[in-house]
Amino acid sequence: MTDATGAELLNSLLTPTDRLSVEEGELVVDGHKASELLAEFGSPLFVLSAGVFVDNLRRIRSAFSANWPEPVSVLYAIKTNNNLAVRALMSANGAGGDAFSEGELDATIRTGTDMSKVVINGSDKSDGVIRTAVRHGACINFDCAEDAERTSAIAAAEGVRARVLVRLRLTLDDADAGSEDYPAVEKLRNYLVRDQVGLSAESAAEIVPRVLKDPNLELIGYHFHQGRQSRELAHFQWWAKSLGRTVGRLADLTGFQPQVIDTGGGYPRQRDTEMLVGERMNPLTIEEYGAGICEGLIAGLTEGGVPIPELWIEPGRFISGNSGVLLATVGTVKSDQGSTWVNVDASINNLPRVDNRSFKYVLLPATRMDEQPTDRVNVVGALCTGAHFASDLAFPPTERGDAVAFLDAGMYAEVGQNQYNAVPRPATVMVLDGEPVVVKRRETLDDVFAAHQVPEGLKNHSLSAR
């Protein structure tokens, strides 16, 4: 059995919103050949597709709206890709925002986002981020009693009433209670113990009455974020039903009926780069996850006699993942002792989750897509470390100047980049209305050292021996 060509591999991995194709043996990204993009904008190069971002936003919104009887709002999780052009595109298409830091909140504000649909998360919020959120009308997710006290004081000083959600967490008791719905819940016990965010129902029951009585605070609902722990549908149905039951229990204890429930993010994608267990292609669609989550949450709320509130969701990776491709150029190709190494000018500086989260990117021979693989190669980056992008990869004959492409580089790539070995970070272009435009310029060596300072006289200073 022969290995698949790049074109055959791509065709087997395409998802409904991808804008990838092959023309004349070359990868085409949203209407533009890889080689032409590199020739015009330099290498390596992040290429984003505005159309894919918007298609993904609309798709996940529809997946939940179709199964939820009240309004559904999508709050884009900027942590996955914080390009200002991306955030502006999300704002223009009706997405609110999930921000964690003062920087993420600033980016969300400056790009015209509807601040009534923006939340600020974090287990240790600074006074600065709370103050900015209060001034601009963002919703603050309370993670502890101290959040309530500090936000109240800041809101009073600002002369406004702060909108807030109480962030909930599931506990081992919830896991035990839900084991019939989701027998594999036992695998999550360590996560439930170690995760620092959110409040148990018991702790929330102590805070909610205090918040309701505080004239500086307006409690509108609850927040929850389980994150990406599994792609099993039963897992999502379990936590959704458990969350609904918890809200019902809190209604009994406090009398509070939420106007909003925010279920956070972590929704799996179909081409699974980030949590590769079994087959790369996830057999489930976002429509199936949306239906399962809504069904479970409605069931849990109904059990507790809680009216169905507005639903907020905070997707990041689902929207940004396949919206970006990283293009790179082949340099030295070396063979020795039965192994071949293909060096490229990108590195784990640009895709750090290869190293710290074991992401498995699809790597394509962008300018040799129709050629049959004949070699087994190790693809490595331009750093002094030995980290591999891919090992023992079936690849066609490759030489200096060829282009390669890493799919699904729209998420957790640019935001996590560093400058190890003093390597400047690449440019980013976005294909907008059919044309590629620069949305982040390529760094220079001056940029790498821009924040450094050498004290006066240090160059001529010699420390005496002790």
* CA dist 61 → 55, 56, 276, 289 (Å): 10, 8, 25, 12
CA dist., res. 263 & res. 178, Å (int): 18
Is 384 an active-site residue? Answer: yes
64: CB partners within 8 A, 6+ apart = 72, 290, 293, 294, 311, 313
Whether the CA torsion 205, 210, 212, 218 is positive or negative: it is: negative
Residues pairing with 45 in the sheet: 327, 427
Neighbours of 145 (CB within 10 A): 14
197-to-11, 40, 76, 98, 296 alpha-carbon distances in Å: 41, 45, 20, 15, 22
Alpha carbons 378 and 388: distance in angstroms, whole number: 7
Which 3 state secondary structure label does DSSP give 242?
helix
- Distance CA(318)–CA(98), nearest Å, equals 14
How far apart, in whole angstroms, are the C-alpha atoms of residue 435 and residue 290? Answer: 33
Amino acid letter, 259: Q
Torsion angle (degrees, nearest 10) of CA 450, 452, 457, 462 = -140
Closest alpha carbon to 285 in 224, 233, 362, 227: 233
| H/E element, 328 | strand 324-336
Structural tokens at position 130: 């709370």
427 DSSP assignment: E
Contact 261, 239 (CB under 8 A): no
Tokens of 96: 């609110």
Beta-strand relationship, 324-336 and 403-406: antiparallel
Separation CA 91–CA 88 (nearest Å): 5
Query: Regarding beta strands 26-29 and 20-23, do their DSSP bridges make them parallel or antiparallel, or are they unpaired?
Result: antiparallel
The active-site residue, picked from 139, 144, 294, 384, is 384
Counting every residue, how long is the chain? 466
The DSSP call for residue 460 is G
Residue 454: how many CB atoms within 10 A of its CB?
8
Amino acid in the structure at residue 263: T
Active site residues: 384
